DNA sequence: AGCCAGGGTCTGC
DNA sequence: GCAGACCATGGC
């Protein structure tokens, strides 16, 4: 059974393609198929309406509404953020990106695997990770494997992922989460600076990966990951630093700008699209 | 062939 | 504190 929901200014395509989740694939008919947690979904947006395929009102209300963050007042957030010229330009290009309320463990793993890597390959590694160690789902696809399941693996077991040097980082994360040295529930609620330090105990988790895990895995919207694109973009747009008033939603501002400068060739002058 | 990809670690000044 | 080599893999 399908379920329809009026989505206001929400942009499904930008939200799913802006690089915050690696589990959604666009189908030839324009819909998207993906898995979150242990649930598979096909979804499309048409004329402002979100169409959830093969789901129920019940599942929408208890899961997908929260996952797509449809109850947060993004109108108010973007009204504030768009007082900044750069965010306004980016927003006009990308539309209303939501921060997905993804699982913390999945977010951590995803961005450990993202380091020095490109998005298509990250998607492939995560797909193989789920196929090899996750749970097969009724409606097709595979759930994301638990930390306990991965902690029981050896490095050789993970060789099927072809994740390269990142495999050992994944194992260390699985072990520390399983042991409780890293508590992702706490990272979602507690002091942000303490959460950063906790995550950076993990081998292979530096400033950027920690920030991504916090923003995209723990919904810490004040966390601002700085990768090479954001570094260049900020040098160009914010030579004096990001305006203070953006900070409470700095992660959202960052994400809109990230998607904008990557997708729109005119967003940055050529000398800022390559190193410094 | 060589460079790059949503970086991090380790070494050497 | 900071630059530079190195890390696996795959696409262009």
Q: pTM of the predicted model, to two decimals?
A: 0.97
Q: Which of residues 257-276 of A touch strand B (CB under 7 A)?
A: 258, 274-275
Percent of chain A with pLDDT over 70: 99
Percent of chain A with pLDDT over 90: 94
Average pLDDT, whole number, for chain A? 97
A165 touches strand C (CB under 7 A): yes
Instruction: Return the bridge partners of A70, or none.
Output: none
Residue A55 binned pLDDT confidence (cut-offs 50, 70, 90): very high
Which pLDDT value is given to residue A54? Answer: 86
Which pLDDT value is given to residue A273? Answer: 85
Residue A275 confidence (pLDDT) above 90: no
Each residue of A74-83: pLDDT tens digit? 999 999 999 9
Dihedral angle sign, alpha carbons of residues A139, A63, A122, A99: positive
| Structure token digits, residue A114 | 């993202």
Mean pLDDT of the A263-276 span: 86
Helix then strand then coil, % of chain A, to nearest 5: 50, 10, 40
How far is residue A102 from each of residues A58, A109, A139, measured CA to CA in Å? 19, 12, 20
Tell me the nt nearest to A117, Cα to C1': B5
Identify the three-state secondary structure at position A103.
coil
Residue A276 confidence (pLDDT) above 60: no
Tell me the nt nearest to A275, Cα to C1': B4
Each residue of A108-151: pLDDT tens digit? 999 999 999 999 999 999 999 999 999 999 989 999 999 999 99
- Cα dihedral A190, A196, A199, A205, rounded to 10, equals 160
Which residue is closest to C9 in terms of CA–C1' distance?
Answer: A164
Which pLDDT value is given to residue A75? Answer: 98
d(CA A67, CA A63): 6
Burial of A159 (0-12, 13-18, 19+ CB in 10 A): exposed
- Tell me the three-class secondary structure of A117-177, residue by residue: CCHHHHHHHHHHHHHHHCCECCCCCECCCCHHHHHCCCCCHHHHHCCCCHHHHHHHHHHHH
Other CB atoms within 10 A of residue A269 CB: 8
Q: Which of residues 109-138 of A touch strand B (CB under 7 A)?
A: 111, 114-119, 121
How far is residue A189 from each of residues A65, A210, A214, measured CA to CA in Å? 21, 15, 10
Which residue is closest to C6 in terms of CA–C1' distance?
Answer: A165
A12 touches strand B (CB under 7 A): no
């Amino acid at each position: 059974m399908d379920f329809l929901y009026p989505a206001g200014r929400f942009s499904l395509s930008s939200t799913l393609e802006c690089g915050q989740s690696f589990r959604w694939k666009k189908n030839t008919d324009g819909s998207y198929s993906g898995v979150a947690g242990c649930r598979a979904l096909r979804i499309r947006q048409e004329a402002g309406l979100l169409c959830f395929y093969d789901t129920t009102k019940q599942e929408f209300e208890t899961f997908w509404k929260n996952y797509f963050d449809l109850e947060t007042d993004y109108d108010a957030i973007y009204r504030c953020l768009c007082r900044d010229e750069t965010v306004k330009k980016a927003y006009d290009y990308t539309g209303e990106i939501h921060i997905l309320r993804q699982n913390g463990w999945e977010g951590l793993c995803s961005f450990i695997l993202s380091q020095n890597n490109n998005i298509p390959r990250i998607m492939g590694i995560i797909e193989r990770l789920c196929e090899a160690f996750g749970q097969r789902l009724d409606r097709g696809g595979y759930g994301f494997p638990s930390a306990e399941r991965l902690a029981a693996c050896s490095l050789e077991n993970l060789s099927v992922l072809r994740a390269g040097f990142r495999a050992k980082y994944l194992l260390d994360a699985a072990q520390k989460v399983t042991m409780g040295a890293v508590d992702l529930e706490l990272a979602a609620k507690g002091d942000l600076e303490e959460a950063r330090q906790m995550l950076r105990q993990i081998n292979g988790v530096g400033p950027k990966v920690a920030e991504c895990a916090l923003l995209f895995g723990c919904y810490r919207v004040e966390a601002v990951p700085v990768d090479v694109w954001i570094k260049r973009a900020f040098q160009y747009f914010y030579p004096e630093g990001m305006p203070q008033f953006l900070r409470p939603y700095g992660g959202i501002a960052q994400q809109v700008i990230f998607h904008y400068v990557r997708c729109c060739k005119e967003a940055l002058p050529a000398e800022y699209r390559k190193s410094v």
